[in-house]
């Protein structure tokens, strides 16, 4: 985890992994996240492209995996104060984590995951 450019204590992301196994010689895996802040917190996500998703595909040649991820940003270890989670921000984050698109046929939803980590806000 890197530094976070904000001062709020909870972030929510939807990691979308588009998988195309229709060409047996050249599988295509594309990663898209709904908030660019994710790329600042997680610098290298290329390892996601190295996984074998064939067992999750259940006979499909194309699918979109959706991984809802919540990040609770704790204060820096050098700081004695803990961030307060704003109730309205928490409500928005939880709603975003639990949102399910109506078009489910080509999508595989993972359960929402929450992680907490020490992050230092940037100036």
pLDDT of 30 reads: 94
From residue 6, alpha-carbon distances to 32, 75, 105, 111, 120 in Å are 21, 12, 36, 26, 9
pTM of this prediction exceeds 0.85: no
Task: Give residue-wise pLDDT tens across range 44-81.
Answer: 888 988 898 988 888 889 999 988 888 877 654 434 45
* Extended strands (E) in 34-105: 62-74
* Per-domain boundaries in the chain: 10-118
Residue 17 has pLDDT above 90, yes or no: yes
More confident residue, 18 or 75: 18
Average predicted confidence (pLDDT) for the chain: 76
């Amino acid at each position: 985890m890197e530094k976070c450019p904000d001062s709020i204590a909870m972030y929510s992301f939807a990691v979308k992994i588009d998988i195309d196994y229709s060409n047996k010689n050249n599988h295509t895996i594309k990663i898209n996240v709904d908030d660019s802040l994710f790329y600042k917190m997680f610098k290298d996500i290329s390892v996601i492209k190295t996984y074998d998703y064939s067992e999750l595909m259940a006979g499909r040649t194309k699918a979109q995996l959706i991984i809802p991820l919540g990040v609770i940003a704790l204060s820096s270890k050098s700081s004695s104060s803990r961030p307060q989670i704003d109730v309205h921000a928490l409500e928005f984050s939880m709603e975003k984590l639990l949102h399910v698109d109506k078009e489910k046929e080509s999508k595989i939803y993972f359960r929402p995951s929450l992680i907490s980590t020490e992050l230092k806000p940037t100036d």
